Amino acid sequence: MTKYEKLTLEELKLQIQNILNKYTDKESIYKISEIYDRNLSTEASKILENELEKLLKPYQKGSIGLAQINPIAGDIEYNSKKVVKYIQHAQNIGLDLVIFPELTLMGYPIEDTIDRHPIIVEENVKWLKQIAKITTKTTAIVGFVEPRKYDHLTGKKYFNSVAVLKNGKIEGIIRKSLLPTYSEFNDYRYIEPSPVIGNQPGETLGDFDNGKIKKCQMTNEINNLKYGISICEDCWNNKEFFNDTTLYSIDPIEELSKENPDVFINCSASPTRAKKEQLKHNMLSFISKKYSTPIVYVNQVGAIDNSSFDGSSRVFDKNGKLLARAKSFKEQFLIVNPHMELGKIYPLTKGLEKTLTETKAYTLEYEPDLERTYKTIIQGIKDYFKKTGFQRAVLGLSGGLDSTICAVLLADALGPENVFGVSMPSKITSSESKSDAKELAQNLGINFTEAPIKEMVETTNNCLQSLFKTVETKWDGRYTQSFTMDNIQARSRAIFLWGISNEFAKCLPIATSDKSELYMGYATINGDMSGGFAPIADVPKTKLFALAHWLNKNREVKNAIPEAIILKKPGAELAIDPKTGKPLIAEDALMPYEFLDEIIWRIENKKEHYYDMLNSKFLYEERNEITKEQKIQWLDKFYRRMSSALYKWSILPPSVIVDSRSINKYDYKQPITSSRINYKGLEENDILEKIMEFSKL
């Protein structure tokens, strides 16, 4: 929730009066609702609710409140408080119905927690039952984890359910049928698919299975209208829309449509990812049009660990036209009536509607996706800190792009006063790096200090060199060129940052690694890739450059990022390039970022392999002439480095998933010991030849 806004009752009344004078009744509903969303005192709410009730009278039949809330996983009391608040609000303003996102009381995802700590499932049922008691004629649809009877059970122990609460009772239960089990979703680890589509009586709660299906309507009747209720993935399986390529064999919406419901309702918890929102929009529109039935979709908002949910709840009318849409990345209570054209379309965060990975070819035009990227990460940081009880962040400011972007994001998410930037120069650090870091900090208004690591690095290095001498007496294989010195610097800096976090309350150090470098393992364990949170771990380097420009243009304070930071070539400033005598440039150690990021994009979005890439033209090749040998060298380097980076991915701190695909360990799993995969593959003849060789052994 946003901060409590102090508004005197007189001021409020005046504001309301002004709204009523200036706007139509329909518009006034939304203007007044927006004041309610600011989180008022009880008295103020009452005043406001009275006005809303009056305005809503003509719209009552079929009116729905979409309670787009930001829950905390497993904190049932916290989540219930929000549920109670919005149920009462809906009652006070006389709505027919108030609906909440998937797993409202538990938060989504909760993962294996419910299996190991079944008490929290018991708790969420207890709370549900008590919440039911305060319901009146306004129906509430609330998500929860439903336990199944454990004895003689077939299947998993839980259902993912929503309860229909009315007049003090649990009237009905709808259970999720389609269980997403891919990417960040693991429903089938603990949830049993419902053996039946649609509504079952409330008395089935906690004791329901295949043999206990009651004969009843699939749809729910509420104030003489029929609602076809489903949960999240249940509406994502339309064969026609998905071109006959679907994940499941049944389509709950198709089933529900057989009873000709007046409205579809879908309770969701659907995180934002590049490319997804347009698909979602088109699909919901398609469904409502196909069945000539409005669909009301309520989505969770807020971040839970790596998943950032965008909200943007919405309603499509029976012609597939968007009638209403809630705000993105904000809690909101949105009032709609799908039959009476009551709704308001709040603007979507740019990038949600059309995002770059939708295009078929790789592009460096990241602009369309930058606002979404920004808000997704901001919410990710904010909620991770808030929900784990942290408040402040400390990070190293190298004067380079990664730490710069992290600093901006942290300042915006936590407030500049809660961010401490530390410049930690070594003897390699240029004076520009130091001054750039300082300038950035000043522009952002964050706290800043300089703490040289020279002394520490020297002491450490001295100790280590003598240790190496001893080790050398027993072990061969000492590298003539190693990254030891580079890593000592990165690790010394991490010791400083973790030190501050140990010494000052509620403070987390930040890992500044970006996606391109994580793919290449170009990040130091216990160094720059270590921290309590990794804000840009799912943003490739070329996109970070675009984001830097965007931030300079779109933040309230313009040009906070010094131009010099954006212009300089990225490099870790950990070692001197013997060829130039200057700090090593990352692209020289790796390959051009533009080329690297296109490899990543091709693998993640098109699942291309080595020869696919070798034989097609990269964007980089259109702009730069490179030999085939050069391309082969880069591709070989990519796969070699990626294979040995798998371990680093497995110990990466929590980070927000941003792209359509990521290497976040809760999104993508690859055994570390699979590092010997032959990504080039072999021809049939070569295989046969090898087999013949093997058979001779």
DSSP at 359: S
- Which span (24-32, 109-117, 218-226, 540-548) binds a second copy, by CB under 8 A? 109-117
Task: Round to whole Å and give the CA distance between 697 and 681.
Answer: 23
DSSP state, 551? H
- Out of 51, 102, 277, 331, the active site residue is 102
Side chain identity, residue 470: T
Contacts (CB under 8 A) with a second copy, residues 199-258:
210, 243-249
Q: Which is nearer to a second copy, 80 or 328 (CB)?
A: 80
User: Which member of 34, 75, 221, 367 binds a second copy (CB under 8 A)?
Assistant: 75
Residue 61 annotated as catalytic? no
Query: Which is catalytic among the residues 157, 166, 176, 350?
Result: 176
If one asks whether residue 168 binds a second copy (CB under 8 A), the answer comes out as no
- Please name every residue paired with 222 in a beta bridge, in sequence order, or none if there are none: 225
SS (H, E, C) 408-453: HHHHHHHCHHHEEEEECCCCCCCHHHHHHHHHHHHHHCCEEEECCC
Which of these, 633, 675, 626, lies nearest to 650 by C-alpha position? Answer: 675
Distance CA 320, CA 334 (A): 19
Strand, coil or helix: 262: coil
232 included as an active-site residue: yes
Q: Is the Cβ of residue 104 or residue 492 nearer to a second copy in the bound state?
A: 492
When asked if residue 532 is in the footprint of a second copy (CB under 8 A), the reply is: yes
Residues 445-484 that bind a second copy (CB under 8 A): 447, 449, 451, 453, 455-456, 459-460, 462-464, 466-468, 470-471, 474-475, 477-479, 482-484
- Given the rule CB under 8 A, which of 288-296, 582-590, 620-628, 646-654 is the region that contacts a second copy? 646-654
Bond prior to 109 in cis (omega within 30° of 0) = yes
Q: According to CB under 8 A, which one of 278, 363, 430, 487 is a site residue for a second copy?
A: 487
Q: Does 543 engage in binding with a second copy (CB under 8 A)? A: no
Q: Which is nearer to a second copy, 58 or 681 (CB)?
A: 681
Residue 308 to residue 298: CA distance in whole angstroms: 15
Measured distance CA(383)–CA(380) in Å, rounded = 6
* Residue 631 engages a second copy in binding (rule: CB under 8 A): no
How many angstroms separate the most distant Cα atoms in the chain? Answer: 94
Which pair of tokens denotes residue 38? 């600011």
Binding part of the chain for a second copy, among 6-14, 17-25, 81-89, 273-281 by CB under 8 A, reads 81-89
Binding track, positions 404-423, relative to a second copy; x by CB under 8 A: ----------------x-x-
Smaller CB separation from a second copy, 176 or 325: 176
Residues 551-570, one symbol each (x = binds a second copy by CB under 8 A, - = not), give --------------------
Structure tokens at 456: 């520490």
Residues 218 and 256: beta-carbon distance below 8 Å: yes
Q: Which stretch binds a second copy (CB under 8 A): 159-167, 309-317, 537-545, 681-689?
A: 681-689
Supply 331's token pair. 């809690």
Nearest distance from C-beta of residue 527 to a second copy, angstroms: 9
Q: Which is nearer to a second copy, 115 or 367 (CB)?
A: 115
Contact stretch for a second copy (CB under 8 A) within 160-168, 272-280, 388-396, 565-573: 388-396
User: With binding defined as CB under 8 A, does residue 42 bind a second copy?
Assistant: yes
Alpha helices in 520-654 (DSSP H): 541-554, 563-567, 586-589, 593-606, 610-614, 619-623, 628-650
310 burial type by CB count under 10 A (0-12 exposed, 13-18 middle, 19+ buried): buried
For residue 158, which of 117, 121, 119 has the smallest C-alpha distance?
Answer: 121
Q: Is 113 a binder of a second copy (CB under 8 A)?
A: yes
Residues marked as catalytic: 102, 176, 232
